[in-house]
Structure formats: C-alpha cells, structure tokens
Amino acid sequence: MRFWELCRRNLKETYRDPLALGFLLVFPLLFMLLFGLAFGGDTASTFPIGVIDNDHSQISQAFADEKLAEVPVFELSTYDDTTDAEKDLKFGELSAYITIPRGFGQQVAQKWQGEETDVILQMTYDESDITISEQIISIVNTVTHSFARIEVPVTVNANPIHIETEITFIDFMGPGIIIFGLLILIPTSARVMVRDKEKGFLSRLLTTPARPLDFLSGYSLCLVAIAIAQIILFMAAAYGFGVDIVGSLWLAFLVFFLAGLSSIGIGMVVASLSKSENQAEPLCWLFAMPLAMLSGCWFSIQLLPSYLRDIASAFPYAHAIEASRGVLIRGVGMEGIGTDFLFLVGWAVGIFIIGTFLFRRSMRS
Amino acid sequence: MTSNGIEPVKMDDEFAIQTFDLTRVFGNLVAVDGIELNIKKGELFALLGPNGAGKTTTINMLCCLLKPTSGTATILGYDINRQPFRVKEIIGVSPQETVISERLNPLENLNLIGRIHGLDAREVKIRSQQLLEIMGLGERAKDQVRKFSGGMKRRLNIMMALIHNPKILFLDEPTLGLDPQARRAIWDYIVQLKGERTILLTTHYMDEADFLADRIGIMDNGKVVALGTSTELKISMLEKHTMIIYAWNITQKVIKEMRSKYAEVEVTDGTMIITDKKLDFKEIVDLLHSSGAVVRSAYIKEPTLDDVFLHITGTELRE
C-alpha cells in the first residue's frame, strides 16, 4: 500500500496549495462564468431554419422531416425555392436555410453501401453573426453525421445581412470549457511530478523500499482523483450556468474522463523530459493553449481551415468535445460517438503507456 | 518482500558497511575513485572533505541512488548492486538537501516515510511522537513544514531518516548552513544516537567530524587520503610542531640564532612562529629572554584536523 501513502501525500500537497487549486478549478469555472454571462440568459434558444428539398427522394425527406426536425433548437419551415427563403433570411425571419441538392438521396445511399462519394448539403446563412453561424453549422454537421454516418461536407454561402437573434451559446460551449479545464491538467500533472524530481523528493524516496511502480501509481491515482473532482465540479457548474443536459451523464463523464487521462499522460511525458518546473510549465502551456483553441474549447472549429482541423483531430480533445457535445446537448448514445470514443480510449491508453515508460526511465540515474 | 532468494553475500560480523574498490565516473570526472572502507557496527564514521570531494556521491551509491561505475559495497552483508531493495529496507537517509513535503506537517511527513518502510499506523504514531519530543518539535507537530526555519527542517529531515529505526544511518552534511546554536542542537542529538546504530556522516566542517566521529576518513578528489580517529590523525601530524611566541623587541640577532637551530622561523610584527620536528619550549623562551626580548606569551600549537588536511592534501579545507 505504499502507492496509497504516496497518493495521499500528493493529494495533500495539491489541495493545500491555493495556487494549484485555483488553476485547476477556479480558472475554468471563471471561463464558464464569463461565457455564461456573455451568452447565457433566458431568451429562446431556437433558430428558424428554412429547408429546400430539391431532391424529393425518400432519403432527403427522412433527413428533413425526421433528422433535422428532431433538433430541438431548430424551428423548421419548408420552402419550395430559394427566392422565398433568401427573402426571409434577409428580413431576419430565418437564421439560415439548407438546400438539399438533387441526387442527395442517391449519394447517401451509395455511402451507406460503402462507396466513395461526396455528399453535398448547401447552407446559406447570415455571416455577420458568427455565434449563430458557428452553432448552426456545427449542429447541421452533427445531424448529417449521425444520419449518414459519414462526414458531410457542407458548402456554405454567406449572405451579409444583419439578423438580430439571442441564443444560449452556453449550451454549445459548455463541453468545450469543461475540456479546457481538463487541458489544464497537463501543466498540473507535469508540475506535480517534476517538482518532486527537481526538489530531490523523488531521490529521497528512492532511498526507501518504494518501487518505481509505487511512485507512478501514487501520482496517477492522485491525478485521476483530481480529474474526477474537476469533471464533477465542471459538469455541475455547466448545469448551473444553464447547459441543458439531454443525454447520458455517465457517458459524458466517461468521455471527459478519457480526455482527463490523456492530459495526465501528456503531463507525465513532459515531466519525464524536463528537469525543472520552470522548464515543464511553459512547455505545457505552449502546448495546451493552442490545442485548446484548435480543439474548439472556446469556439466551434468548423470555421477553421481543414489543415488546422486535421492537426486538432490528431489529439483527443477535439474528439472529446465533439463526443461530449453530442451526448450532453443532443442526447447521442454510444452508437453515435463510437469512433470518437474509441479514439479517446486509444489515446488515453497509449499516452499512459508512453508516459509510464518515460517517467520510469527518467527516475533511473 | 524482496528477498529474491539471495542471501547476504558476505557476512563479516565486525563490519556494517564495506566498500570494495567503489568507483563512480561522471563523464571525464572520477567523482569517487576506488575507495575501500570498512565501517564497524555501531561506529560513527565521518567522511570529511571539501565540497566536490566525492562524499555525497559515495553516500548516494551506498543508499542505492547511484549505480557504481565499478566496484561495489555491502551494507550489513547486502550487496548494493544486487540487493538494492534489501539495502533500502535497513538504511535511513538524511540527504544533504532538506527534502520534505512542504505542505505536509511533521507528523504527516514522518507517517509517509514510516508507512513506506512498512510500519503500521500505530507504530508510526508512537515513534513520531517520541522523535518530535526529543528533537524539540513536539509543539509544531501539526504545522505545515513550509513555515519552519532551516534548523527545524533539518531536524525533521533527520527524524525522517530515523522513523523506521534503521540499523544504518546516513547523514549527508546534517548541519549544512545552520547557525551555531542549531548545529549544536543537532550534534547533541547525534551524540545520543551513537552506539545504537552505525552512522555514516559526511561533513566539510572539521569541528563537526572532530566532535562527533569515532573515526574519520579524509576525502579529497574522490579518494580517501587519510583514515583514523581524530587523535590518530593528529598524532600523524606530530612529526612537525609549531610554536608561536608573541614578544616585544625581537632582535635580528636572536632571529638569526633561532634559524640556525630550527628548520622554519617566521617573524612578523612581534610574532615568531617556529616549526620543526622537535621544539624545546624552555630553550626557546630562555634564548629570547637573554637576547633582551620581552615574551608576552608562548605556546606549542596543537595540530587541528585542518592541519592534517593541509598536510595531506596541500590545500586548506574550505568552510
């Protein structure tokens, strides 16, 4: 039970350190509060969306009438052609309209049979309000994704007209900010471990019968406990700030937990490669902040150029945000987030193995 | 739990710590150069030497933190290379850097080390309280360590090495950077520990080695250059004596006469220092008197460990 004693000690060192606690818990909560104040509120959070079905196939009808209509924040109205829709968009009657092009049903059917085709949806929206467009694009993307089980490139046309709408952005951003909180675990994990190395505490304990595995499990267990506390607190706070939780809390928790494990693993790798806190900490922030941005912690990544999205999707956080958003605000189950979930499991396990290996090696002299 | 089925290699009942050509090289630097030490059970052995002499490297190898480049050592018969975890079970280490969990209180710090050494919670509690009382930290037992003074932290550092009642105790520079009062308090405590267990202490303070150690090994450039009790080491110096005389009115004539009789005679500002293998105290004073000098004081200087060190290494021990 040596690891247990070490874990207890690590926990005490952390929760008695106001600065560390502030970073871990208060900092993300502050973000959440700011976003909540800025974009929260009790105004109706629905978007009037126009749909033009040029395909008239069974599939396109199913998509429009079932899938799109199912989205709680969409208020759908059907149009026969673009002229009326565009007029309504200009007058602010619509937030956006979606055009289902001819051949959509056939393309989707081909996709389902495993053929390589591009499925095109056309969406026209008001460019001037970024928050709206981001959300709508992201929601449409998720819907098409879960409908066609493929990534549907949405062609976007922008119309520069001003539309006044207030929405609860917090619904959309909540998961991102929770993931941001879990990204802060990277510098924290690295600091907890590298500090002991730097100050000689690790060497001191290496003169006791404690084994390398005791240290590793002592650190990991402590950090996992911190991650769990963080997730519970953030989820509660998100709920408090008005995020409507639709899907399974457990599944969302699991997704966040996997993201947290990845952060701990990355922290372990950084701690193994650095000699001092002064080295490890900036390195972590340098890594975590751009990653938070690319992964979509603060805004939707749908508007990023594709190469930046590719970089983000090599890391677990964009997947975790996507998956947790699906679960929390759209009620998607495991079947809807399967790929993202597997990716997260793979990442968490992989980085933990690498981190363990490197940290063990760095303990030897 | 870590017997590995390997029994102690050699069990020389007399010795607690033995090193066999123990060597550690860092790049081009030979930090510890083939030292051979035999430290008896119950002995307090001091490794004395300047910073960089290789004392800490030696201790780090003995407590299995550093692998020797070549050679080995045994601690109560257990080989540091082959049975490191056996060794770690029986040693207590107080490192040179005071390493404590700053946001834990002394009880929690002691508990951590004690539990890691396999003591149960009750044992740890009893021993912690004893140690805290003896070391005068009883009243601060529940304060976070980061608020402690350097001396208090040092004492806790030593307590943490003692919590599991180890047979072998390593104290690496136990009073480094402390004020005289705090040093004295730690010395007094170390004196109490003598005899119960084997203690290997490193220091670069001569008075510390002189006061505490049963035997002293002088280390320089990775080698043990002299070994013996404090008195033995000083006696080895007695082949040369120094007499210091403070006097007025020392004439050139008497200086010349002294130089004809003794090997080294130095005179500066009414102080005459005479060094030779044999010195006749009375003869020197009489000679000065008869030359008309007024002798205010005169004495034969007792050699210190510093003299021993200077004599052996050709450099002074820096404090």
Q: d(Cα A268, Cα A257) in Å, to the nearest integer?
A: 16
Q: d(Cα A312, Cα A289) in Å, to the nearest integer?
A: 12
Rounded to 10 deg, the angle between the B121-134 and B150-162 helix axes is 140
Q: d(Cα B195, Cα B41) in Å, to the nearest integer?
A: 8
Asked if the Cβ–Cβ distance from B99 to A211 is below 8 Å, we say no
pLDDT in tens, A323-364: 888 888 777 788 878 889 999 999 999 999 999 899 888 876
Q: How far A206 CA lies from chain B's nearest CA (Å)?
A: 7
Mean pLDDT of the B149-160 span: 89
Facing residue for A5 by CB, picked from B67, B89, B116 = B116
Q: How far A4 CA lies from chain B's nearest CA (Å)?
A: 10
Asked if the Cβ–Cβ distance from B97 to A199 is below 8 Å, we say yes
For the record, the structure tokens of B11 come out as 């069990």
Tell whether A19 lies on the interface with B, counting CB pairs under 8 A: no
For the record, the structure tokens of A144 come out as 């098409």
Q: d(Cα A159, Cα A156) in Å, to the nearest integer?
A: 10
More confident residue, B214 or B135: B214
Closest CA to A14 of A30, A28, A25, A2: A25
Residue A155: what pLDDT?
A: 46
Facing residue for A199 by CB, picked from B85, B91, B99 = B99
Kindly identify which residue of chain B lies nearest to residue A2, measuring between CA atoms.
B116
Helix (H) or strand (E) holding A169: helix A169-183
Asked if the Cβ–Cβ distance from B85 to A13 is below 8 Å, we say no
Tell me the torsion sign for CA atoms B297, B303, B305, B308. Answer: positive
Q: d(Cα B232, Cα B211) in Å, to the nearest integer?
A: 14
Q: d(Cα B182, Cα B177) in Å, to the nearest integer?
A: 10
Is-contact A71 A142, C-beta < 8 A?
no
Residue A127: what pLDDT?
A: 64
| Helix (DSSP H) and strand (DSSP E) numbers for chain A | 17, 5
Closest CA to A184 of A288, A108, A276: A288
More confident residue, A277 or B235: A277
Q: How far B202 CA lies from chain A's nearest CA (Å)?
A: 17
Tell whether B184 lies on the interface with A, counting CB pairs under 8 A: no
Residues of chain A with Cβ-Cβ distance to B123 below 8 Å are none
Report the percentage of chain B scoring pLDDT > 70: 94
Q: d(Cα A10, Cα A20) in Å, to the nearest integer?
A: 12
Mutate to test the interface with B, among A204, A205, A206, A277 (most CBs of B within 10 A): A204
Tell whether B123 lies on the interface with A, counting CB pairs under 8 A: no
Facing residue for A208 by CB, picked from B66, B117, B144 = B117
What is B18-60 written as a DSSP string?
EEEEEEEEETTEEEEEEE--EEETT-EEEEE--TTSSHHHHHH
More confident residue, A248 or B43: B43
Residues of chain B with Cβ-Cβ distance to A19 below 8 Å are none
Which residues, 6 or more positions from A130, have their beta carbon under 8 angstroms from its beta carbon? Answer: A299, A303
At residue B195 the predicted structure's pLDDT band, cuts being 50, 70 and 90, is confident
Q: Which of A78-87, A208-217, B113-122, B255-264 has the lowest mean pLDDT?
A: A78-87
Closest CA to B216 of B90, B314, B317, B85: B317
Which residues, 6 or more positions from B29, have their beta carbon under 8 angstroms from its beta carbon? Answer: none
Asked if the Cβ–Cβ distance from A12 to B108 is below 8 Å, we say yes
Question: Among residues 37-66 of chain B, which lie with CB inside 8 Å of chain A?
Answer: 63-66
Residues of chain A with Cβ-Cβ distance to B63 below 8 Å are 207
Asked if the Cβ–Cβ distance from A208 to B113 is below 8 Å, we say yes
pLDDT in tens, B1-28: 444 444 445 555 789 999 999 999 999 9
Which residues, 6 or more positions from A310, have their beta carbon under 8 angstroms from its beta carbon? Answer: none
pLDDT at residue B258 above 60? Answer: yes
What is A106-123 written as a DSSP string?
HHHHHHHTT------EEE
More confident residue, B200 or A365: B200
Tell whether A203 lies on the interface with B, counting CB pairs under 8 A: yes
Helix (H) or strand (E) holding B269: none
Facing residue for A207 by CB, picked from B91, B101, B103 = B91
Tell whether A213 lies on the interface with B, counting CB pairs under 8 A: no
pLDDT tens digits in sequence order for chain A, 365 residues long? 788 999 999 999 888 888 888 888 888 888 777 776 766 554 446 788 888 888 888 888 888 887 787 777 788 888 888 888 888 887 777 888 888 888 888 887 877 777 777 777 777 876 666 666 777 777 777 777 667 655 544 444 444 333 333 335 566 678 888 899 899 899 989 998 999 888 888 888 989 999 888 998 999 999 999 999 999 998 888 888 777 777 888 999 999 999 999 999 999 999 999 988 888 989 999 988 898 888 888 877 766 788 888 888 899 998 998 888 888 877 778 887 888 999 999 999 999 999 989 988 887 65
Is-contact A28 A233, C-beta < 8 A?
no
Q: How far A6 CA lies from chain B's nearest CA (Å)?
A: 7
Q: d(Cα B125, Cα B108) in Å, to the nearest integer?
A: 10
For the record, the structure tokens of B56 come out as 């800490």
Alpha-helical segments (H) within chain B? 55-62, 84-90, 106-116, 121-134, 150-162, 180-193, 206-212, 230-235, 252-261, 281-290, 305-313
pLDDT at residue B141 above 70? Answer: yes
Tell whether B4 lies on the interface with A, counting CB pairs under 8 A: no
Asked if the Cβ–Cβ distance from A6 to B116 is below 8 Å, we say yes
